[in-house]
Amino acid sequence: MDITASQIESIVRSVISSMGGTAPRAHGPIPTTAHVAMLTDTKKIEVKELPIPPLGDDDILIKVEGAGICGTDVHEWKSDPFGLIPVVLGHEGTGEVVAVGKNVKVDTAGKPLKVGDKIVTSVISCGECYACRMVPGRTNLCDNQGVFGLIGDKRGEAEGNRVNGWFADYMVIKGGLGATYFQVNELDLKQRMILELACVCVHALERGQKTGLLNFGSKVLVQGCGPVGLVMITVLRAAGINHIIAVDGNEDRLKVAQKMGAKTTICFRRPDEDTLDKRVAKVKAVANGVGVDFAYQCTGAPVAAADIYSYIRRGGGMCEMGFFVNNGEYQVNPHFAMCNKEIDIVGSWDYSAEDYPKTVAFLKQCREMNIPIEDLITHSFPLDKMNEAMETNVAQAGIKICYINEN
């Protein structure tokens, strides 16, 4: 006997009711399965159909609209450094709320949340470790931190939810487990897909600001013009930094850096900038003859990370934000690089949920200042082309690569 979707929904609602719960709010039939791009082996993503678990009173079902592909997604696809396989990746996603449990009334910031709203997810914190208890404003340091679609929603999976990554047509937020999420109706799709990456950079801006070295007169260098570095340039420009120096080896990306707000560009493949000494001389020529006030190290290359100290003036500072995975070590002489210059060094590790509202404000500021941050999205792929999307990212054929749900 064939069973219709509405009959299935009726059965699910009946089961939930018999368990003492309340049927979720929705504007139409609730889907029972989701198509996901599951990483089943290194360099092997397969589209699978998985059951959508019945929604509890604190849960949210989202129809995915799109998701950015992060460098950490690519690292996981290439070699599984986090040991997550099998996993549904995608943590830079956004979509539309299609069903909510009875307890879901507002988002993490207290804004009303209902069916039809646009939504993004943030970190999942345990609430139990030292960082969560003693420094609750820095939940990015949670010892057991999770992120939907990356360092997984382990407790949600324990309850039978594998539809918890954004590389899918539907995903489920299991509420009441430390999950954080935000209603972002005021942003368009491209802005929403770039929000998580921008949040990384907004957090890094605040880490740099704690040194007291960032102001309207600061000369600031950004090393590495991949997606992180380019968004870092937009964040600095929106924050009022008027002279940004961009360093990379790709002329096309340096042109984009100028478009985003960089005033000076340095390419280590140009004959007059192909050694560290030449590059340092160029930096000093535009930075008061002494070097930059502050630098952001945005590459994942140890050799580049070793260079960054040479660009910084005595009494300056730097923020290391390029190593979200273990890409190796580098050698530096601490006497010349740090002590003799007395520089301030800060690290930056992803973001806290508290950074999301500030990042929404940053994206609105980009609109006001006509900074075309959406132009960083250069390629999009459907669900069944995610291996090709990863290859495009590895080849650096574009800047920001995204998944778009075409259904």
pLDDT digits (tens, 9 = 90+) for 118-175: 999 999 888 899 999 998 888 899 998 888 988 765 555 656 678 899 999 999 998 8
Average pLDDT of the residues in 386-394: 96
Quote the pTM value.
0.91
By the 8 A CB rule, do 390 and 69 touch? yes
Residue 336's contacts (CB-CB under 8 Å, 6 or more residues apart) are 309
Residue 118's contacts (CB-CB under 8 Å, 6 or more residues apart) are 65, 94, 95, 96, 97, 183, 184, 185, 187, 192
Q: Which two tokens stand for residue 293?
A: 């006030």
- Predicted confidence at residue 335, as pLDDT, reads 97
pLDDT digits (tens, 9 = 90+) for 21-69: 567 887 778 899 999 999 999 999 999 999 999 999 999 999 999 999 9
| CA separation for the pair 372, 389 (Å, rounded) | 23
- Predicted confidence at residue 19, as pLDDT, reads 47
Q: Which residue has the tokens 């008027």?
A: 242
Distances, alpha carbon 362 to alpha carbons 29, 149, 166, 237, in Å:
37, 24, 23, 11
Distances, alpha carbon 139 to alpha carbons 159, 218, 272, 295, in Å:
23, 30, 45, 25
Q: How confident is the model at residue 187 (pLDDT cuts 50, 70, 90)?
A: very high
Q: Is the pLDDT of residue 109 over 90?
A: yes
Higher pLDDT: 19 or 219? It is 219
- Predicted confidence at residue 24, as pLDDT, reads 85
| CA separation for the pair 93, 172 (Å, rounded) | 12
Q: Is the pLDDT of residue 285 over 60?
A: yes
**Nearest-5° Cα angle at 191, 190 to 192:** 90
- Mean pLDDT estimate for the chain: 91
Q: Which of 3-7, 49-53, 109-113, 211-215 has the lowest mean pLDDT?
A: 3-7
- Predicted confidence at residue 152, as pLDDT, reads 60
Higher pLDDT: 136 or 335? It is 335
Burial 366-382 (b: 16+ CB within 10 A, else e): beeeebebbebbebbbe
Percent of the chain with pLDDT over 90: 78
Q: Which two tokens stand for residue 24?
A: 């979720």
